[in-house]
Structure 1
Amino acid sequence: MNKVKVGVIGCGSIAKHRHLPEYAANAQVEIVAVCDIVQARADEAAQKYGSESYSSYEELLAKSEVEALSVCTPNYLHAPISIAALNAGKHVLCEKPMATSKEEAESMIKAAKEAGKKLMIAHNQRFVPAHKKAKELIESGEVGKIYSFRTAFGHPGPEAWSADGKDSWFFQKDKAFIGAMGDLGVHKTDLIRFLLGEDIVEVVGFVETSAKQNTDVDDNAVCILKSESGVIGTLAASWSYVSKEDNSTIIYGENAILRLEEDPVHSLIVQYKNGETVKYELGGIQTNESGGQTNTQVIDHFIGSIVNNTEPPVTGEEGMKSLQVVLAALESNESKKISRV
């Protein structure tokens, strides 16, 4: 079997803890190139995974036999590097948020189409066991009509997670473009779209900087979202949950309430209208806390789409729709009005 020759551009924390180990664990993959503007970081990864090391992504795209790659850079580089890679004939897995504007996202999608290559966005929440089970229950009709939801993703902030700690690009607006809403909120806009099976059409956003010093990116956001069929709910994204990560979602339906990733043991609890409660132990969600690094399945799905020539489960179009909800929240915060997506 010919292995897919893979490269990783950006060797910070997301590459180190997710992309590289998951590629290494996939029997259909050979890691052949890594790149980071901090040469020592690239060299460390290259040594660990037996690959070539680059400090320039242009050099990697030009010289290497790479067939597919992950873009794990600061947000402002997602689109330009992904487009360059697609134009160079590589399949691309891009970290979220996929871009800093709708126009950038559209350019990425166009580049993938023109190159005839896969473009997948790394929205891992779709693959969490509790989330997949909840979608099954909703789609089967067991939950009945969905009335409302609330979803949150918060932790103490990127300082403890990012390779550069307090000096991380996450806090620099020119590189990050957006803070907690882009880092965490976009995961939840994607999850809600996935669970409901429909798009968000209206957004009210309160997007603030209140917890972190010396930064002009948001660290606290609360949004009200309305779906195509009129389901309304709230989304919170925060870097100010100082003691413990919250990655929970509650779906309020006609026949049952679904509690996702709220209980440390039972990742899905279904509370039925008739008083019955069913608790599922399905395995935990990925967290940034120690010991939480289980396989996200993102890499396996990406490689599977290449090997089997199928559409990736999170396409560029899907990534763009989830990004647009975040952009609408920013617009609403500025205008103090409801934004249409």
Structure 2
Amino acid sequence: MTDSGNILRLGIVGCGAITREGHLPELLQFPNIDVRFLCDTTYEYAELAQLEFGLDAEITNDISDFSNLVDCALVAVPPRLHAPISMRLMQMGIDVMCEKPTADEADQAQRMVDEAAKLERILSVGLTTRFHRNNRILKALVSGGELGDIVEVVGEMGAPLDWTMTTDAYYNRNTTAGGVFYDVGVHMLDRIIWLLGDLDNLNYEDDSYGGVESNGILTADLTLHKGTVPFRGCFSWTHMLDNCVRIVGTEAIAEARLDDPDHVYLQRRVGDSSFEMVVSPATAEADELTPLAEQWQDFLESVVNRTPSRAAADTTIRALQVIEEAYRIRTHMAQPWVETGRSAI
């Protein structure tokens, strides 16, 4: 684990479930982090974080208190607040780790990126699947031709939504721009675009009737280094899906599963038999971190060394553009069980 020797004063904005159950257990592994402030408009959330982790941090509801006392900040608030809070922090000279999605809209994300460049601030986004170690394996299998010609790429993310919630932010249009496609779809789309290539010629359907969607399906053309192949993305808050990136080739199928960030599962046919092999790096790292901890390490190194992070905000905008375009062309998913005009049974 990297210890730069530089103590970094951290302010946390938003002390809800993602901060307490996700970020704090990971970032507190780093000896050079000193949590100075816990900021939340609901005092009880900040107090709970303070007590749960035994933090000697000041509780506040105003990020102005961070001025000259904080080097970097975590922004873990509802998505519609990402841009204004992140930009205000950067204007105060503070580097920012912002939860995903970067912003409500791609144009807003671009303004954040422009502000970071103007102020020479680090702006990183919490897209943790970029830090799955099987990304390198997956890319090598594709570029090395081990799968043969690529026929199709599939991405699935879905399970009944049982995440601990402290507010209605997931479902409230005042706090978020969308549902499952915006919330978890951004992880998958970012990973596909960052790892493999751009998406075009979109078709998208979901089950929204004015509120946020719980299920969505995106089909598109994915541009790889050797041409264009079909992409299909499925996202759900109601059903358990395969939760993987699946690349189908003429010689083999490769799966990078979300619950195993270290390996790729390679399926091949030999004669009349099918085999599955688990592909891993030849040498494992001595001090392997979880993907979220690795993202924190990457961010902290960027802050200390003034170098771009692997999840720099300027590289996250295309996924938001795809989501915006998909929402614009949205069609209704067939739901025969809620159709009107049917005879009563």
Per the normalisation by structure 2, the TM-score is 0.83
Give distance in 2, aligned partners of 1:103 and 1:133: 33
The one-letter amino acid paired with 1:201 is D
Residue ranges of structure 2 left out of the alignment (5+ in a row): 282-288, 334-345
2:214 equivalent in structure 1 = 219
Local SS of the residue matching 1:60? helix
Q: Are residues 1:121 and 2:125 paired?
A: yes
Quick one: structure 1 residues 282 and 155, their matched pair in 2 at CA, closer, same or farther if it must change by over 3 Å?
farther
Q: Are residues 1:257 and 2:269 paired?
A: no
Select which of 307, 316, 319 maps to 1:310: 307
Deviations 1:22-81 (A, max 9, x none): 110112322111111111111222342221211123x3333x511111110001001111
Task: Answer whether contact 2:148 2:251 (CA < 8 A) is retained.
Answer: yes
The correspondence of residues 54-69 of structure 1 with structure 2, limited to 5 A, is 54-57=60-63, 59-62=64-67, 65-69=69-73
The one-letter amino acid paired with 2:247 is I
Task: Answer whether contact 1:124 1:298 (CA < 8 A) is retained.
Answer: yes
- Fraction of identical pairs, as percent: 25
Deviation at 1:12, TM superposition (A): 0.9
Q: How many residues align?
A: 314
The correspondence of residues 232-311 of structure 1 with structure 2, limited to 5 A, is 232-241=230-239, 244=240, 246-261=242-257, 267-272=263-268, 274=270, 277=275, 279-280=277-278, 294-296=290-292, 297-311=294-308
The one-letter amino acid paired with 1:109 is V
Residue ranges of structure 1 left out of the alignment (5+ in a row): 284-292, 337-341
Local SS of the residue matching 1:173? coil
The one-letter amino acid paired with 1:205 is Y
Larger Rg: 2
Deviations 1:204-244 (A, max 9, x none): 1102238xxxx811111000021234221111111111xx4
The correspondence of residues 1-341 of structure 1 with structure 2, limited to 5 A, is 1-47=5-51, 48=53, 49-57=55-63, 59-62=64-67, 65-157=69-161, 160-164=162-166, 167-196=167-196, 198-209=197-208, 216-228=211-223, 229-241=227-239, 244=240, 246-261=242-257, 267-272=263-268, 274=270, 277=275, 279-280=277-278, 294-296=290-292, 297-333=294-330
The one-letter amino acid paired with 2:219 is I
Give distance in 2, aligned partners of 1:263 and 1:50: 34
User: Comparing 179-188 with 24-33, which one deviates more in the overlay?
Assistant: 24-33
Deviation at 1:294, TM superposition (A): 4.7
- Pick the structure with more helix per residue: 1
Give distance in 2, aligned partners of 1:90 and 1:255: 50
Deviation at 1:273, TM superposition (A): 5.8
Quick one: structure 1 residues 318 and 295, their matched pair in 2 at CA, closer, same or farther if it must change by over 3 Å?
closer
Please give the root-mean-square deviation of Cα atoms over the aligned residues, in Å: 2.7
Give distance in 1, aligned partners of 2:267 and 2:229: 19
Local SS of the residue matching 1:186? helix
Task: Answer whether contact 2:6 2:304 (CA < 8 A) is retained.
Answer: no
Per the normalisation by structure 1, the TM-score is 0.84
The one-letter amino acid paired with 2:181 is M
Local SS of the residue matching 1:313? coil
